[in-house]
Amino acid sequence: MTDVNSPDFLKSYRDATLVKKVITQIHQRITQPWTLMEICGGQTHAIMQFGLDQLLPKEIELVHGPGCPVCVTALELIDQALWIARQPEVIFTSFGDMLRVPGSEGDLFSVRAFSGQVRVVYSPLDAVKIADDHPDREVVFFAIGFETTAPANAMAVIQAKKLGLKNFSILPANVLVPPAMHAILANPKNRIQGFLAAGHVCAVMGYWEYPPIAEKYQTPIVVTGFEPLDLVNGILKTITLLEEGQVSVVNAYPRVVTYQGNQAAQTLIKKVFKSVDRNWRGIGTIPKSGFGLQDAYQEFDASKRFDIGKIKTEESEICIAGQILQGLKKPSQCPAFGTLCTPETPLGAPMVSSEGACAAYYRYGRN
Amino acid sequence: MTQENSDHIQMQGPLCPIPHHHTDTVIISHGSGGQMTHDLIQNIFQDQIGNQYLAEGNDAARILFEQLEGQLAISTDAHVVSPIFYPGGDIGRLSVCGTVNDVAMLGAKPSFLTAAFILEEGFPIQSLYQIVSSIALACKEADVQIVAGDTKVVEKGNADGVFITTTGFGIIPPNRQIGGQFAQTGDAVLISGTLGDHGIAVLQARGDLGFDSGIQSDVAPLNHMITELLEAVPSVHVLRDPTRGGLATSLNEISCQSQIAIKLDEETIPIQPEVRTACEMLGFDPLYLANEGKVIIILPEKYAQKALETIRKSPYGHKAMRIGSVFHDNPGHVFLNTAYGTTRILDMLSGELLPRIC
Amino acid sequence: MCLGIPGKILSIYEDHGTKMAKIDFGGVSREVCIEIIPEAKPGDWTVVHAGFALNLLSEKDAQETLNILREMSELAEQEENIHRD
């Protein structure tokens, strides 16, 4: 809601004049090259959509991080999702983002076309409603997302339990940001000097987890929002910290984010989920980097409810998604970029999601 | 089929041989070509869209063309929209307007349509009546006649309620050349009104995404507005209605056909605030949503203002805006100048528009 | 990963024991679960993601951030002019 009708305290975050003034300050402040990572796919999308990267000083290299759950959801999980979706008694529900992510063989979109019932939902609670409306079918929800989506996914399970639904389950696939940041920064090839932290993840979780990370890796972290003014403000603050040699965590999104975060959300998440090791597509297993269901809610785990059996999981050999997601390579450095791999014929997830680094580059960056 | 009759009937295959005069839903016999088909056509179709051509009762229509100079424009469309009824329109209105507009986009005056219906067994007769009502109204508004038609019924599950295929005909006056291949460097690019209305109205009617807005489909016949435009400004180069794939896709097609580039100014593109909001909620770009009552006009720069003034007088052109220009460098591409002074490429729609959380 | 947009709470109700709200996003409204912002009242602003309200949106903080950025920009411009003179 940032149009002519929206109130000033919201629509000003798209004010072109103010955005340009902040960018001018970035130009004034910067004296040397810096490499920053924006961890959130939504931020990548916004930067590309408004062309903000074209206005920044050349000294700033913006690396697009693995902040796109679509891109990092493990291939095995996608293959499990495809297997479940193909079962005749199943209505498979998912956010739209996941429909075209390639599994080892096909994607959810092709399952929908060919045989299965695959339905796009805007909210996990809509999936619960579908289960309630179709007691004769097994309704499975693909619970992807970062901590931002975890409360909604948890609520779906709680609601299903409240309603006494026996035909609803989720395929747990949530991933967590701080372990990913650790993994990126701990990599000996890491080039990231400053982080724009994901504003909406922090709205839920707060940013109390970040000072130890900043300290350990001597990397400033700035909690950043998604509007153009938020993004340039986040970048300005990060550059300022870097230029002054300061390692700290700053909240540049105070209208939604507090240090402790949303306690009620965190309680809800802990009630339903527990931390588990998770395999990140293209990166590998990161310990305690995902959410699985607590014992009390095991009955809602689709991976246990269905006898999935052995699935042959095969990643494309050409796709270098892992290196791109960690910021080690740019999409333009991939031999298949724009030729074998396009949004119509994606080889890997970052080309599918509109936030994926490769899709963003393809759509917005080929000037 | 009443209980007392069923004992005496010899079923011949899957067809029910007993004619029914009153049914609430479409049944297979309605498509058999026999009495029931005749009754259906008479009661539902002829009553509402009858004319001298249909009244002849033959399998084809005889049309006398008084003016045979110029070219014949023909267009055909299959309409499978779901849901069938949505705010601002229905499949009936869409099928007439869609084809009328396609013919008008060549600068032709649409005169005649054909309409073929594939009905799913079990489809409510009342709904069919309503759809044909909409068709009749749309034809009247557009001043076109349906001169030939067909009706078939398929078994339940083999169609989504009703599918309609329409074909339209019109004459393009001599010396008029309008088409996607005629855009020229230096031309102005106009749009006749707000974008994305139809796309969002249909999505809302589907109910899957659970939002409420006052957004109505813009489905409308544009031929009269185009006639007035071409009378005021004969040198229009391109007319195109940005339907599936939206403005971005249509402009990409035109830029390839004409081998030119188009640059748009984002701030000038008219989009209703509610449409913008709905798009932001779902993660859609309004430039890729379907429109069924809008036209892109590409014409020499010097006539742009006059064209805008003319269109704005039409009920379907109040919000017309100039949104960009045609260039010769980077042919086959469309660019968008953002409010921040940056430029990005506007590609064609790839795949299907899907809502996202990311 | 977080398509969240701001909206204003119009009304609050319960659905099967779950706290819900009707939220206006600028002419478009939707039913949203507000279970994790129990302190919310009609008239409050919130950020919504996937049919779920994430947190309250503070108008005060929003305005403060804008004020600071506007002030900083002005100072920066003045400095720039001084350097030029």
Task: Write the pLDDT tens digit of every residue in B248-285.
Answer: 999 999 999 999 999 999 999 999 999 999 998 888 89
The share of chain C scoring above pLDDT 70, in percent, equals 98
Q: What is the pLDDT of residue B151?
A: 92
Residue A317 identity: E
C3: which chain A residues are within 8 Å (Cβ-Cβ)? 42
The mean pLDDT of chain A is 90
Measured CA distances, A231 to A46, A98, A189, A326, B178 (Å): 8, 26, 26, 20, 45
pLDDT band at A366 (very low <50, low <70, confident <90, very high): low
| Per-residue model confidence as pLDDT tens digits over B2-50 | 333 333 333 334 444 444 456 788 988 888 888 888 888 888 888 888 8
Q: What is the pLDDT of residue B22?
A: 61
Q: What is the pLDDT of residue A201?
A: 95
ipTM of this complex prediction, to 2 decimal places? 0.93
The share of chain A scoring above pLDDT 90, in percent, equals 63
Residue A115 identity: S
Q: What is the pLDDT of residue A1?
A: 43
A3: which chain B residues are within 8 Å (Cβ-Cβ)? 273, 276-277
- The alpha carbon dihedral of B284, B298, B258, B171 has a sign of positive
Lowest mean pLDDT among A259-273, B73-87, B252-266: B73-87
A95: which chain C residues are within 8 Å (Cβ-Cβ)? 50
Give which of C56, B343, B49 is closest to A367, Cα–Cα: B343
Q: What is the pLDDT of residue A360?
A: 73
Across the interface, which of C1, C5, C72 has its CB nearest the CB of A198?
A: C1
Q: What is the pLDDT of residue C3?
A: 85
pLDDT higher than 50, residue B1: no
Verify whether the Cβ–Cβ distance C27 to B273 is below 8 Å. yes
> Quick one: average pLDDT of A49-72?
87
| Per-residue model confidence as pLDDT tens digits over A274-294 | 999 999 887 889 999 999 999
Count of pairs with CB atoms under 8 A, one residue in A, one in B: 97
Preceding peptide of A33 cis, ω within 30°: no
pLDDT higher than 80, residue B209: no
pLDDT higher than 90, residue A71: no
Across the interface, which of A1, A40, A252 has its CB nearest the CB of C2?
A: A40
Q: Which is higher by pLDDT, B10 or B200?
A: B200
- The span from the CA of A5 to the CA of A138, in Å, is 43
Q: Which tokens go with C3?
A: 């398509």
pLDDT band at A311 (very low <50, low <70, confident <90, very high): confident
H or E element, residue B171: strand B162-172
Verify whether the Cβ–Cβ distance A120 to B347 is below 8 Å. no
Q: What are phi and psi of A356, to 5 degrees?
A: -55, 140
Its pTM stands at 0.89
Across the interface, which of C1, C28, C49 has its CB nearest the CB of B277?
A: C28
- The span from the CA of A271 to the CA of A293, in Å, is 9
Give which of B97, B64, B113 is closest to B224, Cα–Cα: B97
